[in-house]
Every structure is written in structure tokens, then in C-alpha cells.
Structure 1
Amino acid sequence: MKEPQLYIADADSIRSGAVTDIYFVRTRQVLAAKGLCDTYVRAELHAYSLPRGYEWAVFAGLEEALAILRGRRVNVYAMPEGTLFKPMEPLMVIEGPYCEFAELETAILGVLRHETSIATKAARIRLAAGDRTVLFFGLRALHPAIAPMADRAAYIGGCDGVSGIMSERFLGVKPTGTMPHALIIVFGDQVKAWKAFDEVVDETVPRIALTDTFYDERVEALMAAKALGSRLYGVRLDTPSSRRGNMRKIVQEVRWTLDINGFRHVKIFVSGGLDEDEVRELRDIVDGFGVGTSIAFPPSIDISMDIVEVRRGDKWEPIAKRGKLPGFKQVYRCRLLEDYIVPWDAKPPSCPDGSKPKPLLEKVMENGEIIKELPTVHDIRSYVLEQLRAFSQ
């Protein structure tokens, strides 16, 4: 009988190039046979288009990409992780003998595409939520092997908290979350379950009662408030779409009922199948959101890698497949998303307001060694939020 297994790749397999598409292996074989393996190239990573309705995306996954390339005979230039970018802008450039990183393209693109897609969607949810709390509850929508990555990308994109317990080990972010319906169902009684949670769970964890298991949300919210009194921090409404009705009216009923019964301190959190439109519709009447699948499974930011220069002798030749701009490039920023793409050695453009443009790509790896201090996830998140604030100014 076949033994069951987890279909996951370990870190060493990823770094070695074992997680790749077969045509890169065959390409390397051909180049090696013809003495071309050490041909120096510059390969640019970019997204020439974005999902419908997207005007920008959040560059994420750089740290993991560098971890994959570490020790290889390559130099890497990149935008800072967390930078908001537009289509066609080079996000990262790998420079070195092509066979040093040919078989790594699959893994690098997978890392950058997935993290960038999640971080971008989290940033869009962050904007939709305004100043309300946003928590990422999407791990159950993903293969568990990538849970820390998803939490990282969602946090970078602007979520205030994540639910995965491994996030504390990998990211230094304490996980957030209180109780599932299972707890209440096992007890068979909401009040007993809420009180047991209050008695057992560490005092530092906010008492947020799930209030939609057996009865109407308004009824259960009031039951929880009466059961825990001042100890109740908030209630969470996770009503499935099949029973939801008008969620805004449900929240208004819960808020009204809590208020007239003297429980104005109790906050309201909403979760369950939320996306940007629902978040935007409810943000003025709730205190926070738990968002899962829409962030975990976002529209894809289709980053690709293309050779844009090849060194012939002692000169670099700009060359690329049709549809892509050949040549090593720099992106200069005057203000958020007011960017200019120019050849790497070209004179910086002039900003309309007379300010000095900022070059976005900088050298971060030299001969396989990281030469720039990597920011923490907290630093990257702050950088993203700083850029997002510009949209409300």
C-alpha cells in the first residue's frame, strides 16, 4: 500500500534549482555543450500588465528571491521591497553568467509573483478599509507549506495582523485570532463556550466572541455582552453568505442593540467571504475585518523574466524578444507613481516640480553576497503604508 506524503519542496531543493521547469534544464544542457554557459546576461524582472482595474502593485518577495540567488556568481539590482510600481517598470535585474541562474527562474518568479499578488491585494483591502483594523485569515485557503510566506506578504501589504502561529517565529508578528465555531459547537452552548474561553485563554488575548452560531447575530451579540460584561472586547460576525441577507443591516441591528443595552464599548468585527467592495461598504459601521480568501487567492501580478542585454566581448548589447524593451534600465521617481524609465547610464530626468528624482533600482547583491541591510517586515509594511497614505492626501 502506498504511504501518503506531503508534496512539498524543501529549501535546499529550491535553492539548488531542482524546483524548475524542464526546459531550463535542457537549455542549460545545450548551452554547456556549445560552450555558451558562461555568457553574461542581464535578465530583467517586470510586469508588463496588471489585472483589470489595477493601476499599481506592491513589489514583494525580494528577500526570498535573494535567498535563492545567494552564493551564485551574480549581481542583483532591485527596487526596495514594498515599492508601489506600475506596468513595464523593471523591478529587479540579475546580472551574471546565464547558467548560474537559468534553472532558478521558475522559483524566483514563483516567489515574486505570489508574494507580490498577495501584498498588492492586501494593500487594496487596506485602502478600502480606511482606518479600520484588517486581519488576514486566509491560511486555510492555501497549502500549509507556504503559510509563513502568505502571512508575510499580507502583513507587508498592510494587514494589521495575521493568524498563523508560525508568523511569530518567521516574522516576529504575534498571531491574532480567538475562536472558531467548532469551540461553540463542541460545548453545545454559546454562553458556556464564551465563558470557558474567558476563563482559560491568556488575559492578553482580546475577548472577541463569535456570535452567529445558533441564533440571530443580534441575539447572540447581546447574549455575549451580558455574559462577559466589561471583559468583552468585541463580537465577530462570520455569517455564511447562504444566510447573510443584507450584511450592513445586520451590523446596524447588532450595533443598535448593543448600544441601547449599555454595551457601547463592544466592538464589531466582520469576516467571511469579504472583498474590497464589502469592506468599503461596511467600514463606517464596523471596527475591523477578517479577510481570507480574497487576499490568499488574489488576481495574479504576472511578473516575468526576460534577458535584455548580453555581453559580447567587452561590450553589452541591448537585446530582447519582441514586445519587450531591450537594455539595462533605471526607474526614477519624482513622486508616488510619477516614474520615468530610462537607460541605466542616461541622465536622470527632470521632475516637473523641480525636485531631484530618486533612482528606485539599487545594487543589493554582488557576486552572490547581499551587500545591503535587508529591512524587517515591519519596516517594509511601514514603507507600504507611507505610500498608500499619499492616495488620501
Structure 2
Amino acid sequence: MRLHVATEDEIRRGETADVYFRRIRKVLEEEGLADTEVVAEISTRSLPEGWEWGVLCGVEEALALLEGRDVTVYAMDEGEVFRPGQPVMRIEGPYVEFCELETALIGCLAKATGIATKAARCKVAAGGKPVYSFGIRRQHPAIAPMVDRAAYVGGCDGVSGIKGAELIGERPVGTMPHAFVLVFGDQRKAWRAFDEHVPEDVPRIALVDTMYDEVEEALMAAEELRERLDGVRLDTPSSRRGDMAEIVREVRWELDLRGYEHVKIMVSGGLDEGEIRRLAEVGADAFGVGTAISDAPAVDFAMDLVEIEGEPRSKRGKLSGAKQVWRCPNCLDDVVLPRGKEPSPCPECGSEREPLLRKFVEEGEVVREPKSPKEARRHVLETVGELEGLDLTE
């Protein structure tokens, strides 16, 4: 192996599983317990960094692993907003049918959900202004498409990766690297060449912090490209940055003063929620976010058996019995109840609650397709916007 990655077939065969699942499967088969029917639930008790809600992502991959197995699967949909303690997926069937897939199933959901949630939080911090995912260089290239897809589902307005953009049915986005300007040795020549050769439908965003002061280069770019310049990007390294909010204020002031109000300001490099919020308030128009999104903490999902042969049974600390999550579509208030128990109407608005765990796979056959990345993203922006009191929809 030149690249240290597992193939799709190897993952499906359970070759990325923790070894004890393979061992106990053999024991169960030898003891005549291979047909034992169980109900397993995937959930988390807590979310990273005090997050109050998460954005579920990775459902499509998880369902692909379970397709063709003798199991029935209920799940929240791709892009659904969930809270700690709620089951996000339920699997019913013989335990040996899916025990070796537990590692992969949790892995598919844990990292993608962390990335999608962080992307949504960055979008909230930006107050709905554009946020782009620029972080695939911080992860192994084998999972670059997953990183971009999860970031988009969580609310990012675009992704930089070629394969990731293809996966979500969008065009990749990006400006220009410092290396491009350095090769020319002259900012103006670099910007002119970019404008001359890059397709017309690509926004003219000039990188303006390579060799001179940000304000000076921003004005140079505006003078060079004038009405053709869509925006400038500030990617100043921390060693030279100073107060980034003051730099944004100054660039905005000087551009406006000279009649370049149409030129947007994009900021990238080391951004997280707090910095995004601060810069959005002083005039930054868009954000390229890398490590904060792509290296977001994974959500600590676990899979637990809650029923054995129809009998409620679970380990200590877990609530036994299959469950359903019910949500008020207006107040977004949730209740978790035993399967089969109908909820009361929402006490706040009187609306009937809707089930969030829906059947996606029945005895190995897919009976419902998860939301597409675009549909999931739209749902995330609507739901998170309601929770945070913001209009995040476009």
C-alpha cells in the first residue's frame, strides 16, 4: 500500500473494525446465538466544547454500509439537528449481521457530524455572511471529499476541493495562493494575469498581503482591476497580523473613500467562531475557514444494545428499550419516548409533534433516500437559524 487507506470493500467486510467484534462474532456463532435479534441505538451523551446542538452528517455512508444486510434501520435524516441523549440511528436485526460494522458506522457519523456542526456554528458567527471551507489540507487526502461534503451540509457556502465540490454538485471555490504572486514577483502583474486567463465566471478576488501593507495592496488591486475586482482577500500570518479587526476597518475605509464600495473583503487564515464574529461586525464580507472546520472535534457517538429478543435490556447507565424522538415543528422542542408511545401536543403552541427517526432500510433494502447535500444544507440553515434567532437562508 502506497497510500495508507482502506478500500470501500475492505470497510464493508469489517476489516477496519476493532478486533474484538470479529472475535465475539465467531463466539456467538459457535454458541448458536447468531440469530439473536437485537435493537441497537447510536447516540451521544454530550457534545464537544459545550455545544447545545449538533448537525447530523454521515447518514448516507452509514446506510450504504448497512444496505444488503439483514437489518432494518431507522435514523434521523442527513442534516438533522439533534441534542445530546437523543438516538440518531436505530438498527434492528441479528447482532452478528452488523456487529463488525460498529466501528465504521460510528466513524462515518462522528467526524462528519463534528465538521458539519462546526460549519454551522461558523455560519452563525458570521451572521449569515458567506463562509467557505478551505481546510482539506489539514486532513488526509483520502477523506477530503467527506470533509468538504460535511462542511457544505453544515452550511458552508462553498468548498475548495475539486472532488468534494463534485460530490455535492457545486463548483469548487478559491482565489489565489501567495506562491502565485511570488512567482511573478509583482502583485500587479499577477492580478492582471489572473484576470486575463481565468474564466469570466470566476470572481476576481485579489490576495493583498503578500509583500506590502494590506491597505496598500488592496488599493493597488482596486486601481489595477477597477470595476472588474470583486474583492480582496486578507490572509495575513499571525506573526504580522496585529489587530485584524483594525486592518479590516482600515481597508474598508480606504477602499470606500476612493469609490471602491463594490469591492468585498474576504478574510482567511486561522479563523474560528470568535474571530469570525468580531470581523463580521467590523465589515468583513466573507470568510475562508480551514482548520477550525476540517479539524473539528468528533462527536462521541456510541452504539448500545437496548433490546434483546424483544426484551428491554441495556448496560448500566443506558435507558433500555427502543425509542423515538418527537419534535414540535414550530417550537423545535423535543421529547424522547419509548417506541410506540404517542406524544402529547407541544405545550407551547399546541402543535402535533413529528417523529425524527424514520425507516431508511427494511431487511437490507433501502426504502428511503437521505436528503441530498443541498436539501440537507437548506434544512440546517432553516433549523439552526430558528434556534439562534437568525435568518441564515439565502
TM range (shorter): over 0.9
Report sequence identity in percent: 57
Secondary structure at the aligned position of 2:308 is classed as strand
Matched, 1:351 2:346: yes
Matched, 1:322 2:319: no
Matched, 1:339 2:334: yes
Write the mapping of 1:260-279 to structure 2, written as runs, cut at 5 A: 260-279=257-276
Equivalent position amino acid for 2:209 in 1 = D
Alpha-carbon distance, 1:336 to partner: 5.0
> Does the CA-based 8 Å contact 1:77-1:363 persist in structure 2?
yes
Alpha-carbon distance, 1:262 to partner: 1.8
Q: Distance in 2 between matches of 1:134 and 1:310?
A: 46
Matched, 1:240 2:234: no
Alpha-carbon distance, 1:196 to partner: 0.7
> Does the CA-based 8 Å contact 1:150-1:296 persist in structure 2?
yes
Matched, 1:13 2:16: no
In structure 2, which of residues 194, 199, 209 is the aligned counterpart of residue 197 of structure 1?
A: 194
Alpha-carbon distance, 1:92 to partner: 0.3
Alpha-carbon distance, 1:52 to partner: 3.0
Q: Distance in 2 between matches of 1:166 and 1:306?
A: 35
Q: Distance in 1 between matches of 2:146 and 2:299?
A: 16
Q: Distance in 2 between matches of 1:147 and 1:52?
A: 24
Residues 123-169 of structure 1, C-alpha deviations (whole Å, 9 max, x = no match):
10011111211000000000000011011100000000000001233
Residues 292-351 of structure 1, C-alpha deviations (whole Å, 9 max, x = no match):
10001112211110111111xxxx111111111110001111245411111001122331
1:129 alignment partner in structure 2: 126
Please list every run of 5 or more consecutive structure 2 residues that lacks an aligned counterpart in the other structure: none
In structure 1, which of residues 105, 108, 130 is the aligned counterpart of residue 102 of structure 2?
A: 105
Write the mapping of 1:135-146 to structure 2, written as runs, cut at 5 A: 135-146=132-143
2:253 alignment partner in structure 1: 256
Q: Distance in 2 between matches of 1:162 and 1:31?
A: 45
Alpha-carbon distance, 1:61 to partner: 0.7
Q: Distance in 1 between matches of 2:87 and 2:202?
A: 43
Alpha-carbon distance, 1:373 to partner: 3.0
Instruction: Name the CA shift for 1:336/1:295 in 2 (closer, same or farther; >3 Å).
Output: farther
Write the mapping of 1:4-43 to structure 2, written as runs, cut at 5 A: 5-43=2-40
Matched, 1:176 2:173: yes
1:382 alignment partner in structure 2: 378
Q: Which moved more, 1:330-339 or 1:36-45?
A: 330-339
CA RMSD in angstroms comes to 1.1
Secondary structure at the aligned position of 2:49 is classed as coil
Q: Distance in 2 between matches of 1:349 and 1:136?
A: 41
> Does the CA-based 8 Å contact 2:59-2:370 persist in structure 1?
no
Equivalent position amino acid for 2:339 in 1 = W
Secondary structure at the aligned position of 2:299 is classed as coil
> Does the CA-based 8 Å contact 1:47-1:89 persist in structure 2?
yes
> Does the CA-based 8 Å contact 2:149-2:165 persist in structure 1?
no
Please list every run of 5 or more consecutive structure 1 residues that lacks an aligned counterpart in the other structure: none
Matched, 1:366 2:362: yes
Instruction: Name the CA shift for 1:127/1:336 in 2 (closer, same or farther; >3 Å).
Output: farther
Equivalent position amino acid for 2:301 in 1 = I
> Does the CA-based 8 Å contact 1:118-1:157 persist in structure 2?
yes
Matched, 1:289 2:284: no
Alpha-carbon distance, 1:27 to partner: 1.1
Equivalent position amino acid for 1:301 in 2 = V
Q: Distance in 2 between matches of 1:308 and 1:91?
A: 14
Q: Distance in 2 between matches of 1:73 and 1:58?
A: 28
> Does the CA-based 8 Å contact 1:207-1:233 persist in structure 2?
yes
Alpha-carbon distance, 1:386 to partner: 0.8
> Does the CA-based 8 Å contact 1:336-1:387 persist in structure 2?
no
Q: Distance in 1 between matches of 2:113 and 2:193?
A: 40
TM norm structure 2: 0.96
Write the mapping of 1:91-102 to structure 2, written as runs, cut at 5 A: 91-102=88-99
Q: Distance in 2 between matches of 1:77 and 1:51?
A: 25
Equivalent position amino acid for 2:204 in 1 = R
Structure 1's consecutive aligned runs of 4 or more residues displaced over 4 angstroms after TM superposition are none
Q: Distance in 2 between matches of 1:221 and 1:333?
A: 49
> Does the CA-based 8 Å contact 1:167-1:174 persist in structure 2?
no
Q: Distance in 1 between matches of 2:7 and 2:59?
A: 19
Matched, 1:299 2:297: yes
Equivalent position amino acid for 1:382 in 2 = R
TM norm structure 1: 0.96
Secondary structure at the aligned position of 1:108 is classed as helix
Alpha-carbon distance, 1:32 to partner: 1.2
Secondary structure at the aligned position of 1:270 is classed as strand
The total of aligned residue pairs comes to 386
Q: Distance in 1 between matches of 2:149 and 2:331?
A: 23
Q: Which moved more, 1:87-96 or 1:169-178?
A: 169-178
